[in-house]
Structure 1
């Protein structure tokens, strides 16, 4: 990458689901604005996630290059990949699970910590669906039975693991809570990194729980929604309560 860049500025246009580098604009539109309006460049890191480690539950990025990047700080930023402890947050969430409620757990290490607290083996890059208070005998397949969990006296079972949108919709039963954590630095809740949680899935939920530790939120001024569904994006705008610890929350704007 460094050889390819040389003295030529590089700018990333977000098109995939995992963005970990400050060479990217927040949206394709912002990338176009940066390319048109920038007046200076700065050396920025190009990072890539170690997916083998991520699938084992460890969030670790690797530095691939340092390249000159057109700069507009309000329009671009890199993802934070701190592996700081979220044990307190996870323990607090697990104590409050509602028997009979279906939980859609998004990807990422923060949500994964909650799943592990509940006795679930999480899919770090995928979406899992779990119902609190559901005995494993009510599910099909050995995989579901092996994920029978116990937390604060409540039994639960995994209904779908590493699920596609169709898998999620097939097993949802009211009431439904979606649990997500924003992409650090970029601050996306939906539309980046969790396309499986589609507008159709969001419409089925009566509750959305956003979780993030203070370190991640300190790098995010505003949360973003980019579902390609204007009605959903508009509905979720405003101020949102984010759970940051066992008993603590913060209000963060969504735009």
Structure 2
């Protein structure tokens, strides 16, 4: 990760030099003005990396992929700095709580503050994880509104419960398969399997949108899940076409 961030910063410096060279080589005032605006935006991004909560989500859709990746690299470095500061504050407050406890004084405030900072740290770690994700489908950066909507949907406890219920229902339907099933029961089983397969396929697509294909297939469990979805969809296609 350190090498990746260093390489991204080096690309940022190269990109900055490239923009300056093009600005000076340009002969028209309009082009120079445009390049100067880009340089001003670059300086603002560099300064924003030293502060908290200054990431510009609207600029996600602008400029080149390299420039956009620079924004996320700076934002990730910014969040990492905040996390390190929180860890230092938590350690300091923990030591103060121990000192107060030794003096037989109330230390509940310090413990509550440590708990609050711990919660803040966990939230920032999740935000850092999101910022470091690759672009999804080659066009959706980590903070794209559609990607944020899908992420909010599948990271919901109700969605997890729905998938768990569908998995259990799929196992029950599989246990009901037997020779000589009546037409009415067969229709019910086939329709239920189609609905469940559609839900599992939507789950796969949603996870790829949120995590990106590169991050999704890094987990062995996700690879197995993908194979199961492919097998289910193939069985669905063959069954509907009358091949099996």
Kindly name which structure, 1 or 2, has the bigger radius of gyration based on alpha carbons: 2
Structure with more helix by fraction: 2
Asked if TM exceeds 0.5, the reply is no
Scaled by the length of structure 2, the TM-score of the pair is 0.24
Q: TM-score w.r.t. structure 1 length? A: 0.23
Structure with more contact order per residue of length (Cα contacts < 8 Å, sep ≥ 6): 1
